[in-house]
Amino acid sequence: MTFPVLTGSLDLLHRVAASVPADQLDAPTPCAQWTVAQVLLHAAGDQHAWASIVGSASPPGYDPFTPPRQPGRDISQLITDAIDAATIAWAGVDPAAQTVPTPLPPIPAMAPELAAAACALDAAIHAWDAAVATGQPSPLTAGLASQLDAAARATAEPLRGFAYAAALPAQPGDDPAAALLRYLGRDPHWAA
């Protein structure tokens, strides 16, 4: 794949999902209305949605914004399948193209690099959600957050109230990861 930020973010999502204990799938998350299983199902559905728009993959079989409470099958395999679909779809995207379509209704198209970063943002942030909800270390580094910031700035405002909560005020000493999380409406110190 020619979009390293996306490759790295998909890897984070895969590693975090594979490390979620089965007895923590019902645990609360920073996405107050969703459990760990629902966050991961949402993340998988979003990757399928991106893959169906930028490639020829099938769209998710459910609305990623109303994920079921129970995965119905192995959550790690669901994530693997979504990542595989995304990887194949993005491999066919020409980074020199003027634009590529997005599954984001208020943003129908973006430059390929920015679109890949927006797709990566989704994977990385939901990897963070699942990680902190299950006691794993944060997978969101300052370097990755810096790479995702432009995508967050391009997508968050049109999607506030639907996909993102209101931004939280910046705090002195925030590193790029904390600043990104706050911008996306998440408390970087969230704990269950």
Domain ranges of the chain: 4-140
In 91-114, which positions are buried (b, 16+ CB within 10 angstroms) versus exposed (e)?
A: eebeeeeeebebbbeebeebebbb
The CATH homologous superfamily for domain 4-140 is dinb family like domain (1.20.120.450)
pLDDT for 41: 95
pLDDT for 32: 87
Q: How many CA atoms lie within 13 A of 50 on its CB side?
A: 30
- Which residues in the chain come in under a pLDDT of 70? 1, 71-72
pLDDT for 68: 78
Q: Is the pTM of this model over 0.85?
A: yes
